[in-house]
A and B are shown apart, each in its own frame.
Chain A
């Protein structure tokens, strides 16, 4: 099993450009999450999907949209990138919401200039 995969690993965008970060898991997990990690701050939840067909906002959703394409895939879209969105983005999954450990992808390092 590959676990949780993310593409791309690195990306540089100019302000105003758009892009989609891809995440896929092969563990048949129901719940998936997008986090961002910034220096000096803990991981913060952007959006999550408790199950296929549902998505909900997390702590910092502004400037982002998500799509739960199917049970395996959960994508994060930046419609008009801003320098404040420079961060490392992690996707994670769990069998279901609640008392389960989270499995993380390798991360995407995004720089917006």
Chain B
């Protein structure tokens, strides 16, 4: 079993829909990262969090340490949000990555 599991693997949505991507992990962590990988391949960091909730624009990330679970929400989704979203956990100063959730948002 992978130490970091993401669901769903693939997600399609209509523009304007509310999106939720989930991440569960089985190891102790000091932080959890959400990353975005664009269709061209580049990877950017969206959030790093160790407790509670963070918001940046239309993106919200939450984490429940007791349940070892995090969610990434996108409000009012837009076609430019189409990308692969990757969850990664910081375990002994090294990241363990999930396999990603491919999101496609259609106009």
A interface residue numbers (CB < 8 A to B): 40-45, 48, 50, 58, 88, 90, 97-104, 106-107, 109
Contact = CB atoms under 8 A, between A and B. Distances in A.
A41 B44 CA distance: 18
Interface of B: 2, 4, 30-31, 33, 35, 41-45, 48, 50, 86, 88, 90, 93-100
A23 to B, nearest CB: 14
Contacts of A102: 33, 45, 95
Contacts of A101: 33, 45, 48
What is the interface of chain A mostly: helix, strand, loop, or mixed?
A: loop
B86 A43 contact: yes
27 contacts: A42-B86, A42-B88, A42-B96, A42-B97, A42-B99, A42-B100, A43-B86, A43-B95, A44-B97, A45-B94, A45-B95, A58-B94, A90-B43, A97-B93, A98-B30, A98-B93, A99-B31, A99-B48, A99-B90, A101-B33, A101-B45, A104-B35, A106-B42, A107-B41, A107-B42, A107-B43, A109-B41
A42 B98 contact: yes
Contacts, number: 51
A66 to B, nearest CB: 15
B28 to A, nearest CB: 14
A99 B41 contact: no
Contacts of A45: 94-95
A106 B41 contact: yes
A1 B2 CA distance: 36
Contact of A104 (B2, B43, B94, B99): B43
Contact of B97 (A40, A43, A109): A43
Given A41-B99, A42-B99, A43-B95, 6 more contacts: A42-B2, A42-B4, A42-B86, A45-B94, A99-B48, A104-B42
